[in-house]
Amino acid sequence: MDILVVGGGGREHAVIKALAASPKTGRIYCAPGNGGISKLAECFPVKATDVDGMVALAEKLRPDYVFVTPDDPLVMGMVDRLNEKGFRTFGPRANAAILEGSKVFSKGLMKKYGIPTAAYETFTDADKAIAYIKSQNSYPAVIKCDGLALGKGVIIAQNEQEAVEAVNSMLIGGKFGKSGSEIVIEEFMTGPEVTVLAFTDGKTVKPMVSSMDHKRANDGDEGLNTGGMGTIAPNPLYTAKYADECMEKIFKPTIEAMQKEGRPFKGCLYFGLMLTPNGAKVVEYNCRFGDPEAQVVLPLLKTDLVEIIEAVWEERLDKLDIEWYNGSCACVVMASGGYPQKYETGKPISGFDADGQLADGKAYVYHAGTKLENGTFLTAGGRVLGVTATAETLQAALDKAYEAVGEISFEGVHFRKDIGHRALGK
């Protein structure tokens, strides 16, 4: 089975590592890939958002499957285009990827089908939005732009002035372009966050082990929002009781709702959940694996990922038992200094062997933003590496991951020192 993976971050590296472990896998291709990925897959310089270019690459390589990993190409309809050309794919078509592509759509779906989420209103007119905020007079207020915004389209306003500024920046200032021409204003929820990724073929939903992201840049959950600074799996706060509740009230109803709407979702559906005092509620849906959630969930997958991809494509996920290892996994992201704002790239990374791994094999290093030049790995992005370890307990996995982090360095490196602390009750 030859497989083309679309994307080029740590998540794609994790997908490729899992694919490479399958006896069913033949050649693995990746576009655009990165330095670390190039050690497992043949990389091609086609951007993940270049739909025409990717279709042309698939026609040249003729893979058995194309695994479309990032949100943008999914929302843009890359899967639809590939299917039209006869390629088998993993990932939702555009009419289902809209679950992430439009918050107005996803909130409307949850309202229509009674799926628990924060109460909300939508607006296209700034005056009406501001009048609503003043009438609610409740802070923090949560203001979200409708479309994709690189994870930056959510503003938690602490007071009226911040809320008004957020509304104006989106609806009048055009801060997020078309993505922000409609906004959602919603109730502020409290409680720990949990990510649950799930395989679904449009009819059956099979949740993976839960995880917890650490989105803020600095220790103690302070600083700016990032794509994710580290993850752990499973998430100890997500008990079996929550898993049952979410299956009945959130996971199954979502899959059924999408099916009823004529938008069957095939691929990996990301449930961003909050365990509020009134039960688990949906914060957001994503139409793909999380990054860096994939880096801690996939290493715990015992079942062959290629078999799952086939079962999803052939819509027989109900017949497949998906098994998981018992231990825990932890991933610590090593980022460029300054991320998520301005940062420098091109810094040589020390501590690696020729494969961009640690010679002692203590941890696996998922490359997020690296390139390989004349045999040297250089930094090439904000998030650079996801140093990942598996062990029997979460504490042991974290200890191993941090020990490995200590063996790798590059100029200006920044990483959080408290990944997993909250999960461990520290």
Interface residues toward ligand AMP, by CB under 6 A: 118, 142, 144, 154, 186-189, 193, 215, 272, 283-284
Contact 408, 387 (CB under 8 A): yes
Decide if residue 228 touches ligand GLY (CB under 6 A). Answer: yes
Nearer to ligand GLY by C-beta: 97 or 378? 97
Residues 247-306 that bind ligand GLY (CB under 6 A): 286, 290-291, 293
Least separation in angstroms between residue 74's CB and ligand GLY is 13
Residues 78-137 that bind ligand GLY (CB under 6 A): none
SS3 for 8? Answer: coil
Nearer to ligand GLY by C-beta: 182 or 213? 213
Least separation in angstroms between residue 362's CB and ligand AMP is 31
Contact 330, 397 (CB under 8 A): yes
Tell me, by CB under 6 A, how many residues bind ligand GLY. 7
Q: Give the one entry of ligand GLY, ligand AMP, none that residue 152 binds, where binding means its C-beta sits below a cut-off of 5 to 8 angstroms depending on kind.
A: none
**Helix 252-260 with 103-113: angle, nearest 10 deg:** 100
Contacts of 299 by beta carbon, 8 Å cutoff, 6+ apart:
14, 17, 18, 325, 329, 364, 388, 390
Distance of CA 279 to the CA centre of its chain: 23
Least separation in angstroms between residue 286's CB and ligand AMP is 8
Nearer to ligand GLY by C-beta: 207 or 290? 290
279-286 and 376-379 as β-strands: parallel, antiparallel, unpaired?
Answer: unpaired
Least separation in angstroms between residue 397's CB and ligand GLY is 18
Q: Give the one entry of ligand GLY, ligand AMP, none that residue 290 binds, where binding means its C-beta sits below a cut-off of 5 to 8 angstroms depending on kind.
A: ligand GLY
Least separation in angstroms between residue 72's CB and ligand GLY is 12
Nearer to ligand GLY by C-beta: 12 or 291? 291
Q: What is the DSSP string of 234-296?
A: S-TTS-HHHHHHHIIIIIHHHHHHHHHTT---EEEEEEEEEEETTEEEEEEEESS--TTTHHH
Nearer to ligand AMP by C-beta: 20 or 154? 154
Q: Give the one entry of ligand AMP, ligand GLY, none that residue 210 binds, where binding means its C-beta sits below a cut-off of 5 to 8 angstroms depending on kind.
A: none
H or E element, residue 107? helix 103-113
H or E element, residue 171? helix 160-171
Decide if residue 226 touches ligand GLY (CB under 6 A). Answer: no
User: Cα separation of 25 and 293, whole Å?
Assistant: 23
User: Cα separation of 251 and 320, whole Å?
Assistant: 18
Least separation in angstroms between residue 158's CB and ligand AMP is 12
Q: Give the one entry of ligand GLY, ligand AMP, none that residue 293 binds, where binding means its C-beta sits below a cut-off of 5 to 8 angstroms depending on kind.
A: ligand GLY
Backbone conformation region of residue 405, classed left if phi is above 0, alpha if psi is from -120 to 50, else beta = alpha
